Amino acid sequence: MRTRKRNRRTSLRLRFIVLLVFSMAASIAVTAPKETGNAVLITENPETKTEKQLYITETDESVPALETVETDETENEEFILYNVPLDAELQKYTYDICTENNVDYKMVLAMMGQESSYQEDAISKTKDYGILQINQINHKWLEDKLGIENFLDAKQNILAGVYMLADLTDKYADIDKVLMAYNCGESGAQKLWEKGIYSTEYSRKIHQLMDEMTEVEGANEKMD
């Protein structure tokens, strides 16, 4: 009788240990560092409690494919091809990156027009590079963070720009503040906000360009 009780206690202890090990393993999986392969986690939106990922187009077959993380209702919006001097492939790439990271796709297209007139190889006198005019001061940390090698490559430049915009969107939410911070730098924008200025010629121009953008009729059907 005592042997049976001992065996039962031993069995219960073993079950408890097994459950404890599985529980610890699950906890480690949830809290593991959220940077892997060719996807970089930006942040968790404190309001929606959703995570966002930026995907680099060049993939490594040795890295398991990552599932797309749903962000919000924009995930389900239909891709729209706009009548701007940017080819359909780059527009779709921009749309995918923006949708995955809760950044306004139409706003980014308008910014390309204002920043570089959609010129992928544009370099300004102030050392701003590419289609979204990424200033040279940001190159090093973006290279380290995203593995970017060429800021004049359209896809890499768009990835860098959207990464920065996603971070600013999380911080400020308001589109005008996001645009001001991107254009003036956060410290420059902060000084304007302290003076009660919450829009600039730049932010107003982006709104104007967004309003003027028109869809390419029947483009989605052709692409499908």
Of 167, 169, 172, 139, which is closest to residue 40 (Cα–Cα)?
167
What is the 8-class DSSP label of residue 215? B
> For residue 39, what is the enclosing H or E element?
strand 39-45
Domain limits, the chain: 1-31, 79-223
> For residue 133, what is the enclosing H or E element?
none
Class of domain 79-223: mainly alpha
pLDDT confidence of residue 77: 66
pTM (2 d.p.):
0.65
Q: Determine the 3-state secondary structure of 181 from DSSP.
A: helix
Return d(Cα 111, Cα 183) in angstroms, integer. 10
The answer for residues whose C-beta is within 8 angstroms of residue 201's C-beta and 6 or more apart is none
Residue with token string 């932010």: 203
Is the CB of residue 34 less than 8 Å from the CB of residue 51?
Answer: yes
Return the amino acid letter for 94: T
Could you report the average pLDDT of every consecutive run of 10 residues in the chain (224 residues)? 46 49 44 37 38 38 37 60 97 97 97 98 96 97 96 98 97 96 96 97 98 84 56
Of 40, 44, 43, which is closest to residue 63 (Cα–Cα)?
40
The count of C-alpha atoms lying within 13 angstroms of the C-alpha of 76, restricted to the half-sphere facing its C-beta, is 2
Return d(Cα 45, Cα 209) in angstroms, integer. 28
pLDDT confidence of residue 153: 98
Facing residues of 45 across strands? 50
Return d(Cα 41, Cα 55) in angstroms, integer. 9
Q: Which ranges in 50-200 belong to alpha helices (H)?
A: 88-100, 105-116, 139-146, 154-172, 175-184, 186-194
pLDDT confidence of residue 169: 96
Is the CB of residue 71 less than 8 Å from the CB of residue 85?
Answer: no
